[in-house]
Structure 1
Amino acid sequence: MSALKIKGLSLVRADGVTLVDNVDLALAPGETLGIVGESGSGKSLTLRAILGILPAGITATGEIACTARTAMVFQEPATALNPTMRAGDLVARVWRRHHPGRSKADALTAATELFEQVGIDRAADRLRAWPHELSGGMRQRVMIAAALAAEPEVLLCDEPTTALDVRVQAQILDLLRDLVARRSMAMIFVSHDLAVVASVSERLLVMRRGEVVETGVLTEVLAAPAHEYTAELLAANLGRRLKSESRESRESRESSESLGSVTR
């Protein structure tokens, strides 16, 4: 049984350009799927097609069958959040929409609990915060809380850590892994960064220029990529990691040398 199944999805622009071409995927209840590919490969558009929120002028063909309640966490919380709405009011409004007949007080109580679940400290106080008063990581936690307010069985994540620094990115990834496990949710996580996708996914789907070029169990794909593009992504990711580790090692060495010169 699939919580979500896509068959032959194609997305075509008004001028006839095909943006996504004949994509198939299936997601089982509780399963985590990572979609990776370069910018413009059709990853985010595929998620938007699932929710039925495609940009104007794009036509979808094919079949999308979703039997599960679905919610989405967007890439940039600064633009996804309403600047005229307090953080708690946003989450409370989403919760109340899915719990008709419940009071505003109930919704605010639920919002406080959701804030706590996503690791927002002083949750009751943060309900009154405006988006501009929150850090990037805190805003993304609010967006995750808003998605959870819909009590989804499938969580769609559209590059939710791209705009965050490395430390906050790691915190958000840990949070998503924990939430998926505790709530038994299925999740699709989209990113251009293979390492990020690999940290939260059981299965992998690789897209290039609107097409799926490889799919399979994450560990098997990483161990023996069948497509040249997947191998290129692996090599690029390894190169970035080695460069980052080299920079961190150099900074650590320079810091130690500086400390040594001070203490001598």
Structure 2
Amino acid sequence: MNALSVSGLTLTCGDTTLVDDLSFELPAGATLGIVGESGSGKSLTLRSVMGILPEAVTRHGEIRCEARTAMVFQEPATALNPTMRVGDLVARTWRRHHPDTSAREARAAAAELFDQVGIDDAVRRLRAWPHELSGGMRQRVMIAAALATDPDVLLCDEPTTALDVRVQAQILQLLRDLVSERGMAMVFVSHDLAVVASVCSQILVMRHGRLVESGPMDRVLAVPQEQYTRDLLAANLARRLADREGVLR
């Protein structure tokens, strides 16, 4: 059974085609990575699923998703409301999706979600403002807010890009644990093949809005069929070796 099916997705802005005839299926509980350089249409694909495309973008094709879907955005500093305490954000999200609960019950649920995503001293942190939290902590708040909807499908739009390597590893481990524990399906978008490989079992490679290659993660990484995929692998390895040399110096 598929949690999400995308068929012939085409996105245009005026005479420019941003995503061209993209199709894929996401079985319930599966993990899919979408990789490609900036401008390849990765984030727009997720926004299409959520129905939050920019007004200038026109969508064609079919998206079938009966499952509850939530999204974690790339930069939590801009996704969070600076005038709202983080606990209020999660509690309000909880009440919207659990309308029969009281404000007190929603706050207790928010504290429990904070604890689940690894936020220490969860009850106290409910009263924190976004600017009082680190980047990694803000991203954990965004994940908690997404989980407050009880999603069957979690869409992650480069959620670790702005984080340092140590915090990035923690967030990736958190996502792996949550997918396993909750049985969620997940789509994880990134330009970083190594990051996607650490959390996903299937992969789509996109370039200029088109699907270049797809398949099981292990097969695509071991024996890429397309030159663009090989170029991405080489660029990813070269960057990581350069970063490692910089750390060792």
Task: Give TM-score, length-normalised by structure 1.
Answer: 0.93
Note the C-alpha offset of 1:245: 2.5
Note the C-alpha offset of 1:246: 2.4
**2: CA distance between counterparts of 1:19 and 1:246?**
37
Note the C-alpha offset of 1:92: 0.4
Residue 58, structure 1, aligned to residue 51, structure 2: no
Listed one character per residue, the Cα deviations across residues 26-70 of structure 1 (whole Å, up to 9, x for unaligned) are: 000110000000001000000000010001110100000002100
Note the C-alpha offset of 1:106: 0.4
Matches within 5 A, 1:76-155: 76-155=75-154
Note the C-alpha offset of 1:16: 1.6
Equivalent residue number for residue 183 of structure 2: 184
Aligned partner of residue 199 in structure 1, secondary structure: helix
The residue type equivalent to 2:241 in the other structure is L
The residue type equivalent to 1:220 in the other structure is R
Note the C-alpha offset of 1:218: 0.2
**2: CA distance between counterparts of 1:162 and 1:116?**
23
**2: CA distance between counterparts of 1:248 and 1:131?**
30
The residue type equivalent to 1:190 in the other structure is V
Equivalent residue number for residue 254 of structure 1: none
Equivalent residue number for residue 223 of structure 2: 224
Aligned partner of residue 2 in structure 2, secondary structure: coil
> Alignment length, in residue pairs?
249
Matches within 5 A, 1:152-231: 152-231=151-230
Note the C-alpha offset of 1:238: 1.2
Structure 1 residue ranges, 4+ long, deviating more than 2 angstroms after superposition: 244-250
Equivalent residue number for residue 7 of structure 1: 7
**1: CA distance between counterparts of 2:245 and 2:125?**
39
The residue type equivalent to 1:4 in the other structure is L
Give the unaligned 5+ runs of structure 1. 251-264
**1: CA distance between counterparts of 2:241 and 2:53?**
38
**1: CA distance between counterparts of 2:196 and 2:99?**
36
Equivalent residue number for residue 19 of structure 1: 18
**1: CA distance between counterparts of 2:16 and 2:47?**
18
RMSD: 0.7
Equivalent residue number for residue 31 of structure 2: 32
**2: CA distance between counterparts of 1:81 and 1:246?**
35
Listed one character per residue, the Cα deviations across residues 227-254 of structure 1 (whole Å, up to 9, x for unaligned) are: 110000000111112222223333xxxx
The residue type equivalent to 2:12 in the other structure is V
Listed one character per residue, the Cα deviations across residues 99-144 of structure 1 (whole Å, up to 9, x for unaligned) are: 1121000000000000000000000000000001111000000000
The residue type equivalent to 2:158 in the other structure is E
Aligned partner of residue 207 in structure 1, secondary structure: strand
The residue type equivalent to 1:117 in the other structure is Q
Equivalent residue number for residue 70 of structure 2: 71
Aligned partner of residue 211 in structure 2, secondary structure: strand
**2: CA distance between counterparts of 1:131 and 1:243?**
33
The residue type equivalent to 1:11 in the other structure is L
**1: CA distance between counterparts of 2:101 and 2:148?**
13
- Sequence identity, in percent? 69
Structure with max Cα Rg = 1
Give the unaligned 5+ runs of structure 2. none
The residue type equivalent to 1:108 in the other structure is R
**1: CA distance between counterparts of 2:149 and 2:15?**
36
